[in-house]
Structure 1
Amino acid sequence: MEKRDAVPTGALRRWGWLVPACVTASAVAAGAAALYWTLSRDANVHYLTQKITHGPVVRAVTASGTVNPVITVQVGTYVSGVIQARYCDYNTKVEKGRLCAKIDPRPYQIVVDQDRASLAVARAQLVKDRASLAYAKASYERNQRLVQTKAVSQDALDSARSAYEQALAQIGLDEATIDQRQAELNAAQINLGYTDIVSPVDGTVVSRSVEMGQTVAASFQTPTLFLVATDLTAMQVDTNVSESDIGAVRLGQRASFTVESFPNRPFDGEVTQVRQSPQTIQNVVTYDAVISVPNPDLLLKPGMTATARVIIDKRDDALRAPNAALRYTPGGLPTIGPLVAAPDGSGAVRLFVLREGSPQAVFFTQGLDDDAYTEIVKGDLRPGDEVIVGEQQKQRRS
């Protein structure tokens, strides 16, 4: 058996020192590289932060609409004819019963005169027939006495009785004719009265669509001559709320809106109606939510376009975090996505707080949220904590 030379003890010692030394050097190099990467990354990243604060969190529904008077009365005409005079114009203050326009009354006056004459004829006919009735009655009574003495025949008595009954029936016919002629006269007088276009309410004329000399026809549809708003110091906004948001709108909710004429001045109101009638335009279903608003300075005009905001829930003094913090993920970590939930299934969500110069993940239970902030119900967060909403790479100097 061939005998192999042994390895010198000094060599073993040298190799035994070299192997651990190599392993230790690699570990140190790796740790140094990791530390250098971390330190260099932290040194090259600038975190954008916002603070946890106390303040309002408001959830609202946004909708567009139109400013309208609460009550608008359409003043039309029941009869046709030529406008003879006009007494009301735009912005005219009117009282109930005020004459606003006049239709030429002459054709209707002629009808009234004719019906009045017909009534007079019927009344004169009644007087004449009453005289005939009196004679027929006297003749009948006389023949009743004479027939007993055989001075007149039974046939003469029957003829007198027939004449008396006919005269009596004629009186009833005349009275009915008088009632008919009176009704015709009343109708003609009503039509004559309709030639006066009067305001049915107290208010302000907001629209006029008639001029002197214009012919209006009321044969098939009543034409609208004036629009009268009863009270312009109280207005309403008819908003078009989408079907996805209408379920959250309730009576009594506070609302605010702006109009283009006063973009920096919000007007405050209250939801007073949520109408059940849907409006479908290009397959988009909306519902009318009515917002009542006072208008003492008459700044709001009928027809203005309003952008309304209905407050459906509100926290006046909530501990809140900016929504941008819930969507932030550090660049050095795997991208998990916004609004990461806690792994324990509690429903808490994650954000990152800048503590001692490094981001630390904190989970918290969220409450009400709006477009800007989310309410913090429970979590290791306090007012003044700086939450990270973004980061920027610092530019290295050459």
Structure 2
Amino acid sequence: MSQASPAPAKRSSLSRVVIAVVVLVLVALIVMHILHKKAPASGAARQVVTVAAATLGAMPVVLSELGTVTPIATVTVLPQLSGYLVEVGYREGQDVVKGQFLAQIDPRQYEISKQQAEAQLAKDKASLAQARSDLARYSQLYEKKSIAEQTYIDQKFLVQQDEAAVKSDEANIAQFALDLTYCHITSPVSGRVGLRLVDPGNYVTASSQPGIAVITTMKPTTIEFTVPQNSLGDVLQRFNAGAKMTVTAYSSDNTREVGTGTLYAINNQMATATGTVSMRATFANDDEALFPNEFVNVKLLVDTMQNAVLVPTPAVQSGAPGDYVYLVNADQTVSVHKVTLGPSDGKHTVIASGLAAGNTVVTDGMDRLSDGAKIQVAQARPAASGAAAASAPGGASGTHHRREASAASQAS
């Protein structure tokens, strides 16, 4: 019994060695697996992006401002004398022409006054005739020295007084005739009458408010808007050169175009509080889409840039470097490229400097990009494959580069 005991001890020691070896092998396999998984993380994964090529094209220089429809004429018709309003000759909202009858003030008082003035004129004319007859007789007697000189001179003065009285009577008659004209109120301009302000039967006085009617010219019309002082120089240069500058009006929500006109007047001073200058454009407004005092959005076409470098607006980024784009390099990496921006129409932006036509920039997927990052150009959708190939640098060569990038990504 004592001789057999060493064998189990040896087997137990061997088992412990085997278990230890197995544990070490497992630990080694786990460590190798972890190291193998971390290895790809040491290199940055390619970011899938959408790219576009910078192109040459025309870019309109447009100023977008807020404007107000300002009629050419808005006239409040006020009575010129006092009296009862006996008739209103227009309908609310009616279009009238210059000289059309609007309202009638009771004319009887002024007719009576005119008749009195005419009677006074007849009386003064008779007195003047008598005075002139006496002056002719006194002149003959004065020549024969039959009357005193003072009597002759006094008669001459009397004739002059009667002549002045006749002229005064004639002026009074003309005044009463004018009053009768004022009793018959007509439209001073062509336009549209607003809502009625006074009803027949009311007693009105000279220049009494709110007046008889308000007439507004509907067509043609104008739009008044302001331009900031930083843009004034370009506008003045084109305007003073005689250029016909187009102004397009849009609805307040910018959903539809309501008219096209021409800039025709610039104010002679700047508003110091806002640093803006008022301008006015004229519109035919044949369809009356522009309503008086309506707020509209205005776009003034200042000029059109030719052969400008254009990129899609989403490609332009702003950050610590300033304005920049992600420029796609030949090795399928990107670099941060500072640019100077020009005008934009929302879809495209002009690159004044820092980029040349034909350069490829990233337009989408740049949220996780950084300088030197590797990229993979997104495959074009089947429906837009022709357009994507045409927009890529070098036409078909752009498709070739994308295939190489895709193959490289799959290999990695």
Q: What range is the shorter-chain TM-score in? A: 0.5 to 0.7
Matched, 1:375 2:365: no
Contact 2:69/2:290 (CA < 8 Å) preserved in 1? Answer: yes
1:37-67 C-alpha deviation (Å, 9 max, x unpaired)? 463x324x44354543455433332221211
Pick from 266, 279, 287: which aligns with 1:289? 279
Contact 1:119/1:178 (CA < 8 Å) preserved in 2? Answer: yes
CA RMSD in angstroms, aligned pairs only: 3.7
Deviation at 1:242, TM superposition (A): 3.9
Greater percentage in helix: 2
TM-score, normalised to structure 1, is 0.68
Distance 1:355 1:257, change over 3 A: farther
Q: Distance in 2 between matches of 1:38 and 1:297?
A: 68
Matched, 1:302 2:292: yes
Distance 1:380 1:191, change over 3 A: closer
Q: Look up the SS of the partner of 1:179 in the other structure.
A: helix
Q: Distance in 1 between matches of 2:72 and 2:260?
A: 16
Contact 1:352/1:387 (CA < 8 Å) preserved in 2? Answer: yes
Distance 1:34 1:57, change over 3 A: farther
Q: Distance in 2 between matches of 1:324 and 1:65?
A: 29
Q: Distance in 1 between matches of 2:221 and 2:314?
A: 39
Q: Look up the SS of the partner of 1:88 in the other structure.
A: coil
Distance 1:371 1:380, change over 3 A: closer
The residue type equivalent to 2:45 in the other structure is D
The residue type equivalent to 2:124 in the other structure is A
Q: Distance in 2 between matches of 1:74 and 1:383?
A: 62
Which residue in 1 is equivalent to 2:393?
A: none
Distance 1:229 1:277, change over 3 A: farther
Listed as ranges, the matches of 1:130-209 within 5 Å are: 130-133=132-135, 136-137=138-139, 144=145, 157-159=146-148, 161-206=149-194, 208-209=196-197
Matched, 1:385 2:360: yes
Distance 1:267 1:97, change over 3 A: closer
Listed as ranges, the matches of 1:1-398 within 5 Å are: 36-37=40-41, 39=43, 41-43=44-46, 45-47=47-49, 49-133=51-135, 136-137=138-139, 144=145, 157-159=146-148, 161-206=149-194, 208-218=196-206, 224-230=211-217, 232-250=218-236, 251=239, 252-260=244-252, 263-278=255-270, 283-315=273-305, 318-327=308-317, 336-339=320-323, 351-353=326-328, 355-362=330-337, 366=340, 368-370=342-344, 372=346, 373-376=348-351, 381-383=356-358, 385-392=360-367
Contact 1:328/1:389 (CA < 8 Å) preserved in 2? Answer: no
Distance 1:325 1:96, change over 3 A: closer
Q: Look up the SS of the partner of 1:186 in the other structure.
A: helix
1:232-268 C-alpha deviation (Å, 9 max, x unpaired)? 3422111133444444433333222212498322532
1:156-205 C-alpha deviation (Å, 9 max, x unpaired)? x444x543443333222211111111112212221221112112344443
Deviation at 1:316, TM superposition (A): 5.5
Deviation at 1:275, TM superposition (A): 0.9
1:270-312 C-alpha deviation (Å, 9 max, x unpaired)? 22111124557xx435432112222222222222211112233
Deviation at 1:88, TM superposition (A): 2.1
Distance 1:207 1:38, change over 3 A: farther
The residue type equivalent to 1:192 in the other structure is L
Q: How many residues align?
A: 327
Q: Identify unmatched segments of 5+ residues in structure 2.
A: 1-35, 370-412
Distance 1:162 1:319, change over 3 A: closer
1:109-143 C-alpha deviation (Å, 9 max, x unpaired)? 232222222212211222333444455456656x7
The residue type equivalent to 2:198 in the other structure is V
Distance 1:274 1:297, change over 3 A: same
Q: Look up the SS of the partner of 1:183 in the other structure.
A: helix
Contact 1:328/1:388 (CA < 8 Å) preserved in 2? Answer: no
Contact 1:326/1:338 (CA < 8 Å) preserved in 2? Answer: no
Contact 1:328/1:351 (CA < 8 Å) preserved in 2? Answer: no
Q: Distance in 2 between matches of 1:363 and 1:261?
A: 35
Q: Distance in 2 between matches of 1:227 and 1:185?
A: 31
Q: Look up the SS of the partner of 1:276 in the other structure.
A: coil
Contact 2:134/2:155 (CA < 8 Å) preserved in 1? Answer: yes
Q: Look up the SS of the partner of 2:90 in the other structure.
A: coil
Contact 2:259/2:290 (CA < 8 Å) preserved in 1? Answer: no
Distance 1:112 1:34, change over 3 A: farther
The residue type equivalent to 1:311 in the other structure is L
